[in-house]
């Protein structure tokens, strides 16, 4: 189902209200567009985020020998380590994926030499990137 912007939904809802019994065909297609777009369900760190980090990031961001851990001190092996960030500061801004360094790096919004993961073998899918964005937007909870 397509996700229709709120303004279009409002216009379509008004059209439904003005539909009359003499115009029943107007209602059915509009109902399809006005339903189906639900808010994102709660993203769980343990069920959704951790498996992404484990399969794509642990290789470099695990103590004591991971290159990313050795270079900047970022361990991604558990929630506490992730939220502690690097020797330079946090990488997650709960509630704001646009300001979160982790999101910037995995989305390619930083210098290409810094895009994560470096190894294409571990590149994230659009679904995984979006999952991490939503998790941060939802407050980056340890759930």
Give the chain's length.
143
Over 80: is that where the pLDDT of 28 sits? Answer: no
Instruction: Indicate the pTM of the whole model.
Output: 0.71
Return the closest-CA partner of residue 4 out of 28, 43, 32. 32
Over 70: is that where the pLDDT of 19 sits? Answer: no
> Which residue carries 């990031």 as its tokens?
57
Over 70: is that where the pLDDT of 14 sits? Answer: no
In the chain, what's the furthest Cα-to-Cα distance?
A: 73
Continuous H helices in the chain? 6-18, 24-34, 50-56, 67-72, 79-84, 101-107, 126-137
For residue 1, count CB atoms less than 10 angstroms from its CB and return exposed for 0-12, middle for 13-18, buried for 19 or more.
exposed
pLDDT band at residue 121 using 50, 70 and 90 as cut-offs: confident
Over 80: is that where the pLDDT of 134 sits? Answer: yes
Q: What is the pLDDT of residues 40-64, one digit of tens each?
A: 799 999 999 999 999 999 999 999 9
pLDDT band at residue 11 using 50, 70 and 90 as cut-offs: very low
pLDDT recorded at residue 1: 33
Q: What is the pLDDT of residues 67-117, one digit of tens each?
A: 999 999 999 999 999 999 999 999 999 999 999 999 999 999 998 888 899
């Amino acid at each position: 189902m397509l996700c229709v912007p709120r303004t279009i939904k409002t216009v379509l809802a008004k059209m439904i209200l003005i539909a009359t019994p003499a115009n029943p065909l107007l209602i059915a297609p509009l109902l399809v567009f006005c339903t189906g777009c639900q808010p994102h369900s709660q993203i769980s760190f343990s069920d959704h985020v951790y498996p992404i980090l484990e399969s794509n990031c642990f290789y470099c961001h695990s103590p004591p020998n991971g290159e990313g851990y050795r270079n900047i001190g970022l361990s991604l092996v558990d929630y506490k380590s992730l939220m502690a960030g690097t020797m330079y500061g946090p990488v997650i801004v709960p509630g704001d994926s646009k300001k979160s360094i982790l999101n910037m790096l995995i989305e390619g919004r930083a210098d290409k030499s810094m895009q994560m993961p470096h190894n294409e073998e571990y590149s994230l899918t659009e679904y995984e990137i979006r999952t991490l964005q939503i998790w941060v937007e939802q407050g980056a909870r340890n759930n």
